[in-house]
Chains A and B, each alone.
Chain A
């Protein structure tokens, strides 16, 4: 087991050195929870970024990505390697308003768009098969499965992942109170407690300490 799983077992009162329930097979539930926590933190923070090089092909504007390890999150930077220019993010609605024939022309890509979960499109479509785009992509890490697999999570968020898994463990044992307590600790450790109220009926909203009405000045 890795260090996060070990901390989880300590918090649920399991013997870490000689576990009776969470053996090699029994650890799956904890491992799934830790994986869920890592992926949720990645969604919220965009913490795992990788660069990919996309070789362009003449006349092809849209490309669907299938990552070998991890899931496609979103693009943070697109860079034309040959022209050494940054591509602007856009979308088909905006382009259609700007130029209804935007799909027909070809040339150097000036802008890119993300469509759906994993499709990247370029405006204009490349006129030749030379050149390429360097994409910086936020990845959602794939699930780890072994004791020694790399944990793709910043160290400072490890305790958040631990509380996430402990909360789910107690929920699976029927203890909602303990589960909720660790759920709040998870949000605390993540620094996002303010974003999510502990009451499910409250609506998060922006506010200041000022009175909302004008006050007469002396």
Chain B
């Protein structure tokens, strides 16, 4: 089972029902158990921080569909997941250029625009200066950034306020990104500053513009369309290795917020050897809920097992750092000097 886990919510549900002695769902409905599972898995992650992931995102990102109005969202295909809400909402209308808002308001149309507008993010890299910032989406299960780099250079977090304060042309400024800022939590997106001067990758495949390079695969589950991973299966060593490319990509190490389970075939984000702890938490909540099946002693038992599991997994997380060498340093002093330049003596005469 190890390589592709292959255990889904339906399997976990069967186990839960065995321990609840409610095989037909006479007391606890499937929806109740699923909602409890989603709740407990968030709680478990908050307490242990065990889930962390690494991803290389291509720039620009690719989306299945672009849409404009909020109401369009409900009509988007359910078998796809990556959608880009483009252009700008203005009342009941969608506008491209900023002067259009003046046109609608009946005032003098005199606001110039700084560039072209687009419905898909890749269009912003087709030679014209963009008229709006280009959003990148964090992975679907993203919670917080632990480390981020663009084209092998670490970049820092900032705010739009700081960027606007120092660069009036921040929308069109182009160069190697030095920072990123959060665009919106609900949209789960961020903006690289300045805009990367990207040339599409060579080695084109498929139709139209060179969206895909060799080795890119499409991934709906991680919430990112193109994940570049050459695969080097090496069964003789008992392990296969994917290579996470960092060149010309955003390289992101992030804290995971587990995806909610929705259907019977969904697979939990936790590896199988950690799912039992989520099960313990769900059992505790089920037995403790105010239903005909309430048994407080069992709620306490499974609750205790859940707490032991939390401590156990905290130790597991600590174990990942067992090979670290720790050194004692003086508080307040930089542990190392990054750049070692020759120093002139204090008494050296000023010129």
Contacts and interface: CB of A to CB of B under 8 A. Distances in A.
Interface of A: 29, 32, 36, 39-40, 42-44, 46, 50, 52-55, 57, 59-71, 73-78, 88-90, 92-93, 96-104, 114-117, 119, 138, 140, 142-143, 168, 171-174, 176-177, 179-180, 183, 187, 195-196, 200, 204
A-B pairs with the 6 shortest C-beta distances? Answer: A176-B297, A103-B152, A62-B244, A39-B273, A64-B242, A89-B323
A101 B54 contact: no
A101 B19 contact: no
Interface stretch (B24-32, B87-95, B125-133, B298-306): B298-306
B312 A43 contact: yes
Given A40-B312, A104-B153, A183-B304, 17 more contacts: A40-B309, A54-B241, A62-B244, A63-B241, A63-B242, A65-B241, A76-B322, A97-B336, A97-B338, A100-B338, A103-B152, A103-B154, A116-B53, A117-B271, A171-B298, A173-B21, A204-B311
Interface string B153-195: 1100000000000000000000000000000000000000000
A156 B155 CA distance: 50
Interface string B43-79: 0000000011110000000000000000000000000
B138 to A, nearest CB: 15
B328 interface: no
A171 B19 contact: yes
A117 B152 CA distance: 22
Give the dominant DSSP class at B's interface.
mixed
Contact of A74 (B147, B297, B319): B319
A180 B297 CA distance: 10
B21 A172 contact: yes
Interface stretch (B33-41, B96-104, B232-240, B343-351): B232-240
A101 B339 CA distance: 12
Nearest to B301: A176
A75 B304 CA distance: 30
Contact of A116 (B52, B295, B313, B315): B52
Interface string B274-315: 001000000000000000000101101111110111011101
Contacts of B321: 89
A177 B301 CA distance: 8
B320 interface: yes
B300 A103 contact: no
B184 to A, nearest CB: 25
Contact of B308 (A42, A70, A117, A196): A196
A189 B303 CA distance: 21
B271 A71 contact: yes
B134 interface: no
Interface stretch (B108-116, B198-206, B245-253): B245-253
Nearest to A60: B243
Contacts of A54: 237, 241
A149 B42 CA distance: 35
Nearest to A112: B323
Given A89-B324, A115-B54, A60 B245 contact: yes
